[in-house]
């Protein structure tokens, strides 16, 4: 079962806790939801519910995707452009990269 968080602006954010969670979460999300994952690293699949999130919600979800990392790059895509395998690996098209700064 994914962990549930609420962004400061009230958007729900779901975070996979293992490969099976990542697969279920990614493949069952609404096509308009936003998917995030730490770029070039292992970690949770994160789904931000609803289309066109504001910068605050996107940054909040991106920090969850990075986990304990102090900052870095996160891959962002619409859930309709992502497919995940049972091993938690994702195939992504039409993605963009978001830089996440260290929290101070």
The structural domains of the chain, with segments of one domain joined by +, span 3-100
Read off the pLDDT of residues 42-87 as tens digits, 9 standing for 90 and up. 899 999 999 889 899 999 999 999 988 888 999 999 999 999 888 8
Per-residue buried b or exposed e for 57-73, using 16+ beta carbons within 10 Å of the residue's own CB: bbbbbbbbbbeeeeebb
Residue 34: pLDDT over 90: yes
Sequence-separated (6 or more) residues with CB below 8 Å from residue 55: none
Look up residue 28 and give its DSSP letter: H
Mean pLDDT score, 18-31: 92
The mean pLDDT of the chain is 91
Q: Name which of 86, 52, 85, 90 is nearest 74 in CA terms.
A: 90
Which one-letter DSSP state was computed for residue 102?
P
Among candidate residues 58, 38, 48, the one with its CA nearest the CA of residue 2: 48
Q: In the structure, what pLDDT confidence band is assigned to residue 25 with cuts at 50, 70 and 90? A: very high
Task: Tell me what pLDDT residue 103 has.
Answer: 62
């Amino acid at each position: 079962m994914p962990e549930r968080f609420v962004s400061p602006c009230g958007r729900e954010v779901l975070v996979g806790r293992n490969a099976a969670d990542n697969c279920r979460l990614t493949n069952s999300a609404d096509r308009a939801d936003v998917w995030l994952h730490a770029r070039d690293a292992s970690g949770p699949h994160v789904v931000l519910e609803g289309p066109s999130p504001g910068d605050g919600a996107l940054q909040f979800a991106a920090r969850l995707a990075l986990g304990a990392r102090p900052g870095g790059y996160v891959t962002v895509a619409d859930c309709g452009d992502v497919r995940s395998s049972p091993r938690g690996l994702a195939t992504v098209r039409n993605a963009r990269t978001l830089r996440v700064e260290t929290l101070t």
